[in-house]
Structure 1
Amino acid sequence: MSGIHGGPDALGVPRWDFSTNANACGPCPMALAAVQRADPQHYPDPGYTALRCALAAFHSVAVERIVVAGSASEFIARITAAVVRTGGQSVWWPVLAYGDYAHAAQAWGLQRVNEPAQADLLWLCEPASPLGNAEPMANTVAGQGGVVVLDRAYEPLRLSGHCSLGAEALDRVWQLWSPNKALGLTGVRGAYAIAPLQGLALAQTLTRMAPSWPLGAHAVAMLNAWVQVDTQRWLAQSCVQLAEWKTAQRAMLQDAGWQCLPSEANYVCARAPQALDVPALRAQGIKLRDTTSLGLPGHWRLGVLPPAAQQALHTAVLETTKETSP
């Protein structure tokens, strides 16, 4: 169900928001300054010429391989529509996966299949959502003949491990990048994809299918800042900090009886030792992400937050447990 998401809700912005995977060290100062300097009076270049060149240079690929998108979710919807338009009928995604893959497939009438070899469109995500681990099917799926998309939303926030796909395999798949999480700027929507070497015709189709100006001035500013050396240096330093917080957060959870699953990213899925009083926690400014909609019932996904937030969670869970105990 794609409508379920982390972040602010009807009660506003949670003080201690474990429900999103945004970089808790953010916002990135350089990217934030660039967004604040953006010129909202004028349209961006409709072809995003300079931005696409900058992104291509950053990834060392030909500029023709860069397709800009309003967001990762917008690209998911658009490439699904493109596959249907060219005769695609089936789709594959992992058992545990971001809900928008299924939402787009349902909207366009694609049938989900269990075998990657039977699919016209295939989805991968590394680090995976919701677990934050490597995808065991990655190399198998990357070798299929359909349109394969690797969602790399959390690659910049990888705290350990490495991508399962090597350079040759990456050139055979679509790579979807949405840096706003890594930059701590999830309110700025903007993404891009790198087409595979044999995907230039589909890249042109996707560009023709896009609405006018899918990226506004603020998104352009964010993505231009994303590729700068000082931004990448800040990101690397933030990952060091996040790794320290993650170690402490896992230890706190495990000491309190939570069962934590392995993760290589800035979030962890865990099963609470008892039923959580979610409204009571939310009233105390704490929000968690129920992973049922991501295919993992009975668990919560918790973004890595600073020690003060960890302590607030620990205290609130204890207090609400006491209040609901017989």
Structure 2
Amino acid sequence: MADLAQEPDMPGALAPAQPVHGGPDALGAARHDFSTNSNACGPCPQALAAVQQADATRYPDPAYTHLRARLAAFHGVAPARIVLAASASEFIHRVTALAAQRGVRAVALPAHSYGDYAQAAQARGLRLLRPADAGHAAAGLHWACDPSSPLGGADPAWAAWRGARSGASEHAAAGALRVLDCAYAPLRLHTGHGVAGPRAWEVPDTGLATWQFWTPNKALGLTGVRAAYAIAPPGADADVAALHALAPSWLVGAHGVALLDCWADPATQHWLAHCLPVLRDWKARQQALCADLGWAVVTGSQANYFCAQVPAADVQAAVRHLRTHGIQVRDCRSFGLPGTVRLGVLPPASQDALRWAWLAGKGR
């Protein structure tokens, strides 16, 4: 998860804004890393073995013929609708480049969102519009993420797009590119109707002109392997061809191919289905722990992460204090949520370490 910092690292430096990430930092990997949304039950044994056994001595097929057919069968679509990507971030930049190529001048973003949506638009001089901004519905490129980031709830834009199919809403202008980020869908622990079950993460082909893109490395607990793919809406042949033309050769290496191929395996999906109830139990425990520490848990998260408001005079200092004790959380200032942190769900031992570190510093 990356977002854009509001200022350079060094005062007075003429440096571009730097991305803010969860995960390892200058101190290395934290022993208890709550700052990412990776599946804490991972890594998936099947996927790990597939990556370790990948043949890195050869180029992959540049057309990814077998892999695209396998992913297409997995989702029940034609192989021509599968577009490989080096990562979610790479696809975000490429589809934004396509939008700019088509003459788009404004991009509609969720109220709080993954920073690469904005970074890709700003790099091409496109205007950023949030839901409260005038002209939001008329933007030429619309992003949604469900479950949302960083709050983990249902994305109102996606609900509106589905409503548009029945004439209930005209959320995006005719001809606009709609892209649904499904990064966290496989780790949905709850739905509006209760507990999520196996393959509840699947997004139906609604007939809307909506792209979906998928990054299974989070669900498989292998975020260090960079690989993703998108599913084009029906009838988007011209945009598919344009995206292929914008891509460099060999987008995905041997290890990424192995991961995506394994993602479509029934045994992998069986493993993931068994992770969900474990993560639900850990999440309930972790939210109770946060409440016990006096943190105000933000309700509505359906995913394996949630946000909480921290009762500290200086939240940044509190975050730094936790980091010195091997605990890393995600400061949500760059999401426009000051005083709030996001926590991926971790096992009880890590939760207990968080409790100890917080009480040791008394919240700073």
Q: 1:319 to 1:28 in 2, by over 3 A?
A: same
In 1, Cα distance between the equivalents of 2:202 and 2:47?
A: 29
What's the counterpart of residue 293 of structure 2?
256
What's the counterpart of residue 269 of structure 1?
307
Q: Which amino acid aligns with 2:345?
A: V
In 2, Cα distance between the equivalents of 1:267 and 1:284?
A: 21
In 2, Cα distance between the equivalents of 1:99 and 1:149?
A: 15
- Structure 1 position 140 matched with structure 2 position 160: yes
In 2, Cα distance between the equivalents of 1:286 and 1:253?
A: 14
Q: Equivalent of 1:218, from 240, 255, 261?
A: 255
- Structure 1 position 120 matched with structure 2 position 140: yes
What's the counterpart of residue 350 of structure 2?
309
Matched ranges for 1:17-32 at <5 A: 17-32=33-48
In 2, Cα distance between the equivalents of 1:281 and 1:250?
A: 18
Report SS of the residue matched to 2:51: helix
Q: CA RMSD in A?
A: 1.7
In 2, Cα distance between the equivalents of 1:63 and 1:311?
A: 47
CA contact (8 A) 2:213 2:231 kept: yes
What's the counterpart of residue 73 of structure 1?
89
Q: Which amino acid aligns with 2:304?
A: N
Q: In the TM superposition, what whole-angstrom CA distance separates every residue of 1:234-262 from its partner, at most 9, and x where no partner exists?
A: 00111111001001001111111111112
The alignment's TM-score, normalised by the length of structure 2, stands at 0.85
Q: In the TM superposition, what whole-angstrom CA distance separates every residue of 1:104-160 from its partner, at most 9, and x where no partner exists?
A: 000011112334421100000000000000012323246422100000000000000
Deviation at 1:4, TM superposition (A): 0.2
Matched ranges for 1:1-326 at <5 A: 1=4, 3-113=19-129, 114=133, 115-141=135-161, 143=164, 144=172, 145=174, 146-161=176-191, 167=204, 169=206, 171-262=208-299, 263-274=301-312, 275-276=314-315, 277-321=318-362, 324=364
Of Structure 1 and Structure 2, the greater helix share is in: 1
Report SS of the residue matched to 2:20: coil
Higher deviation after alignment, 169-178 or 244-253: 169-178
CA contact (8 A) 1:35 1:222 kept: yes
Report SS of the residue matched to 1:169: coil
Q: 1:178 to 1:165 in 2, by over 3 A?
A: closer
Q: 1:168 to 1:225 in 2, by over 3 A?
A: closer
Q: 1:138 to 1:164 in 2, by over 3 A?
A: farther
Q: Which amino acid aligns with 2:179?
A: V
Aligned pair count reads 323
In 2, Cα distance between the equivalents of 1:44 and 1:23?
A: 27
In 1, Cα distance between the equivalents of 2:46 and 2:31?
A: 24
In 2, Cα distance between the equivalents of 1:234 and 1:138?
A: 28
CA contact (8 A) 2:85 2:252 kept: yes
Report SS of the residue matched to 1:4: strand
Report SS of the residue matched to 1:188: coil
- Stretches of 4+ moved more than 4 A in 1? 162-166
In 2, Cα distance between the equivalents of 1:166 and 1:23?
A: 20
Q: 1:254 to 1:138 in 2, by over 3 A?
A: same
Give aligned-pair identity as a percent: 53
CA contact (8 A) 2:297 2:309 kept: yes
Q: In the TM superposition, what whole-angstrom CA distance separates every residue of 1:71-100 from its partner, at most 9, and x where no partner exists?
A: 000000000001101111111011111111
Unpaired runs of at least 5, structure 2 = 5-17, 165-171, 193-199
In 1, Cα distance between the equivalents of 2:355 and 2:127?
A: 43
Asked which structure has the greater RCO (Cα within 8 Å, sep 6+), the reply is: 1
Q: 1:166 to 1:57 in 2, by over 3 A?
A: closer
CA contact (8 A) 1:260 1:269 kept: yes
CA contact (8 A) 1:138 1:165 kept: no
In 2, Cα distance between the equivalents of 1:318 and 1:234?
A: 36
In 2, Cα distance between the equivalents of 1:39 and 1:187?
A: 17
Deviation at 1:305, TM superposition (A): 0.2
Deviation at 1:295, TM superposition (A): 2.3
Report SS of the residue matched to 1:246: helix
Q: 1:171 to 1:223 in 2, by over 3 A?
A: farther
Deviation at 1:41, TM superposition (A): 0.3
In 2, Cα distance between the equivalents of 1:198 and 1:147?
A: 13
Higher deviation after alignment, 16-25 or 107-116: 107-116
